[in-house]
Structure 1
Amino acid sequence: MSTPRSHPAPQSPSLGRATLLVAEREITSQVRSKSFLISTAVLLVAILAGIVISGLMSDREPGATPVAVVASVADVVAGAERLEVTEVTDRAAAEEAVRAGDVDAAVVPGAEPLGVQVLALDSAPDAVVQALTVTPEVELLDPAPADEGLRYIITFAFGLVFMTSVIGSGSMIAQNTVTEKQSRIVEILLSAVPARALLAGKILGNSAVALGQTAAIAAVAVLGLVVTGQDDVLTLIGMPLAWFVVFFAIGFVLLAGIFAASASLVSRVEDTGSVLQPAIWLTMVPYFLVVFFNDNELVLRIMSYVPFTAPVGMPVRLFLNEASWWEPLVALVVLVAATAAITALAARVYERSVLRMGGRVAVREALARSVDA
């Protein structure tokens, strides 16, 4: 008589395997979402269009440039088609016209061997210099900071990309967390995988999606700059852009843990607004700081070492050549250490509140008590 063969009970997946399964689920649900695909496509097209338009604008044929010319050197601008010439008596009159804004530049007698000099207010007048038969010295009466417009655009872009990507993906993590809790699906999920694996999978999956989106933005920006011939800008932002991707990857993990832990404190989607406010403000602060203080070296230096602002502050400082070679390495170590500590704290809050239904759970209470059976 044969005895029935016993079948071993199925074993739960290891922590690492469970994390990867949850991450795969998060990635799949994100990339299949029409809203995510459409918003990403619109963002990429907008970035490419902006780069192409700026390139076309820079290549556009300029109109006539108003220029004052001292009568004694008027022959050097004879026949210049792109200059609207106004003759003045001497250098003082020419300088007065430039300062008053009546003309963009002035051509005045200068030192030998050329014998002419160009006066301008705050930047070199390329149209005037190129129209002359000689290449004279340019004297700026009120020099402006170098590349001020490009400085603002690049710092603005770093802050905006970080803020929009983190808030978008972080809000998705929060919404999924609360939805699973409200529908009780989380109880089924936790019967198969540990809470830490569920949280780690959410962070890992959404981090991969956000990093992929950021890498796509960087690739489109590089492609647009190459196609439009703006290689000089590409040279300036190449290394800062690479560091931005590295800092973004780690900084997103830090903030994603805060978004997930914050969402686990409530049981209804309607209540997420209040608990997510601190995380949203932490994400928005770097953007506002670089927009309003992009010319303040002290603020940028502090930003580059504060974990929540380092993903924007350090790449901006690298772009502005205000950071030594070792500073991004030190800032990265600080960011990694802070991310490890804050993520561990977020995991503790998540574990102790994700199964608690009803009213909002206080952070102090979640840290002080274990999950009810």
Structure 2
Amino acid sequence: MSTATRGTADNGTAQKGAGTTSAGGRSSGTRPSAPSEAAAVWLVAEREIGTKLRSKAFLISSAILFIAALAGIVFGGLSAQNQGGTPVAITADAASLLTSTEGLEVTEVADRAAAEKLVTDGTVDAAIVADPSATPFGYVLIANSSAPSGLTMQLSEVPRVELLDPSQTDDIVRYFVAISFGVVFLMAASLFGSTIAASVVEEKQTRVVEILISAIRARTLLAGKVIGNTILAMAQILVLAAISIVGLTIIGQSELLELLGAPILWFAVFFLFGFVLLAALFAAAGAMVSRQEDIGSTTFPITILIMAPYFLVIFFNDNPTVLAIMSYVPFSAPVGMPMRLFLGEAQWWEPLVSLVILIATCVAAILLGAKIYQNSLLRMGSRVKLVEALRG
């Protein structure tokens, strides 16, 4: 073969090789392929989780919340153990049957009617009256809504208990549980909700959102933010539940722990969907403004929805009607329904119906929030009005 022929052949081979490389480049793709929808959502969620875990403010606030929860449980247990004598009314014939009145603030009364009157008026917590039919004790313990556990425990033998107005929990325990559910929901929802709104505004101010939207859809970005913050919020709830279990076990409140078991589980389930609902609304509210100073104007209505259950459950924890209404309103159901379950006022089917209502509202809030978020995210300058955000 001549030199010219070999040169021509080599040139053709080189061109063929170049063409193969080019074709191979197009088939395999030198540019990385776009992630799937699920992968993109998880990438955003990982970014949200990583940002929070690297934030000193978040870590410090979480530590303070956990320490405060443990301190509150221990303090409540110590207060219960160090409380003074139990005020009781005792008839003269019943006093002779008791082995000891140590730890009791005794008020002697003439008969059973006088004892019941003091119990009904709230002057004493309970009354001990003679009753020959109450074998083998010879006396009965009378209380208004619930028998004082400390009194029944300090008696040598537990007598027959007669309740004039039966109730499964006393006022102090009910108030403590109401505050616990209300505070946990308020702090977790407001902390993570405001963080989501601030994160959205920060991305708009730094123009990072324009880069993100060029790679993924707005709804994908919203889903990642909601999922990431929901994971962190639920992690806090689980840690608080563990602290409650350990704290109540340490101070010897095993009976209270048994009563709180199912309500705490229901609280976690209701909180999950309630938080997703609020997170979507907070993200939408953040997308409607372009400055951190304006966040309050759009998140204020959502903040009211978070604070309302807290105050309602504290002031009306002994009102069955208010608690029943709260348990079916989506924004207060995470607090109202677990509280009713703890008090034993809810039927077995009620939490299921309430949960269905909450999930339906959650889906509607996600769709509404996604529309507002998508229509407002790239709009800079003045605050976007709600009507404009809905119209697009």
TM bracket, shorter-chain basis: 0.7 to 0.9
Write out aligned runs for 1:1-373 (5 A). 1=11, 2=14, 3=18, 5-6=21-22, 7=25, 8=29, 9-60=31-82, 75-76=96-97, 80-82=101-103, 109-111=130-132, 114-116=137-139, 124=147, 146-369=169-392
Do the aligned partners of 1:69 and 1:106 also contact (CA within 8 Å) in 2? Answer: yes
What runs of 5+ residues in structure 1 fail to find an aligned partner? none
> Distance between the aligned counterparts of 1:242 and 1:298, measured in 2?
23
TM-aligned CA distance change 1:122 to 1:185, over 3 Å: closer
TM-aligned CA distance change 1:65 to 1:287, over 3 Å: closer
- Could you list the per-position Cα deviations for residues 219-239 of structure 1 after superposition, in whole angstroms to 9, with x for gaps in the alignment? 110111122221111111111
Structure 1 stretch displaced more, 190-199 or 69-78: 69-78
TM score, norm. by length of structure 2: 0.82
| 1:297 CA drift (Å) | 2.3
Do the aligned partners of 1:77 and 1:131 also contact (CA within 8 Å) in 2? Answer: no
Structure 1 stretch displaced more, 40-49 or 82-91: 82-91
Do the aligned partners of 1:240 and 1:316 also contact (CA within 8 Å) in 2? Answer: yes
| 1:244 CA drift (Å) | 0.9
Do the aligned partners of 2:376 and 2:389 also contact (CA within 8 Å) in 1? Answer: yes
| 1:75 CA drift (Å) | 4.2
Do the aligned partners of 2:169 and 2:343 also contact (CA within 8 Å) in 1? Answer: no
Q: Which amino acid aligns with 1:204?
A: I
Corresponding residue pairs, total: 368
TM score, norm. by length of structure 1: 0.86
Q: Which amino acid aligns with 1:210?
A: A
Q: CA RMSD in A?
A: 3.1
Do the aligned partners of 2:168 and 2:343 also contact (CA within 8 Å) in 1? Answer: no
TM-aligned CA distance change 1:276 to 1:115, over 3 Å: closer
- Could you list the per-position Cα deviations for residues 1-27 of structure 1 after superposition, in whole angstroms to 9, with x for gaps in the alignment? 432634433322222111110000000
| 1:139 CA drift (Å) | 6.5
> Distance between the aligned counterparts of 1:273 and 1:136, measured in 2?
59
Q: Which amino acid aligns with 2:290?
A: S
> Distance between the aligned counterparts of 2:165 and 2:308, measured in 1?
33
Q: Which amino acid aligns with 1:366?
A: A
Do the aligned partners of 1:261 and 1:346 also contact (CA within 8 Å) in 2? Answer: yes
What runs of 5+ residues in structure 2 fail to find an aligned partner? 1-10
| 1:57 CA drift (Å) | 3.0
> Distance between the aligned counterparts of 1:323 and 1:28, measured in 2?
40
| 1:293 CA drift (Å) | 2.2
TM-aligned CA distance change 1:69 to 1:240, over 3 Å: closer
Identity score, percent: 52
- Could you list the per-position Cα deviations for residues 95-125 of structure 1 after superposition, in whole angstroms to 9, with x for gaps in the alignment? 7888898877666554356555566677646
TM-aligned CA distance change 1:309 to 1:86, over 3 Å: closer
TM-aligned CA distance change 1:266 to 1:106, over 3 Å: closer
Do the aligned partners of 2:97 and 2:138 also contact (CA within 8 Å) in 1? Answer: no
Q: Which amino acid aligns with 1:47?
A: A
- Could you list the per-position Cα deviations for residues 275-311 of structure 1 after superposition, in whole angstroms to 9, with x for gaps in the alignment? 1101111111221221222222232222222222222
Do the aligned partners of 2:99 and 2:156 also contact (CA within 8 Å) in 1? Answer: no
Q: Which amino acid aligns with 2:79?
A: M
Q: Which amino acid aligns with 2:185?
A: F
Do the aligned partners of 2:201 and 2:292 also contact (CA within 8 Å) in 1? Answer: yes
Q: Which amino acid aligns with 2:275?
A: F
Do the aligned partners of 1:120 and 1:141 also contact (CA within 8 Å) in 2? Answer: yes
- In terms of Rg, which structure is larger? 2
TM-aligned CA distance change 1:10 to 1:297, over 3 Å: same
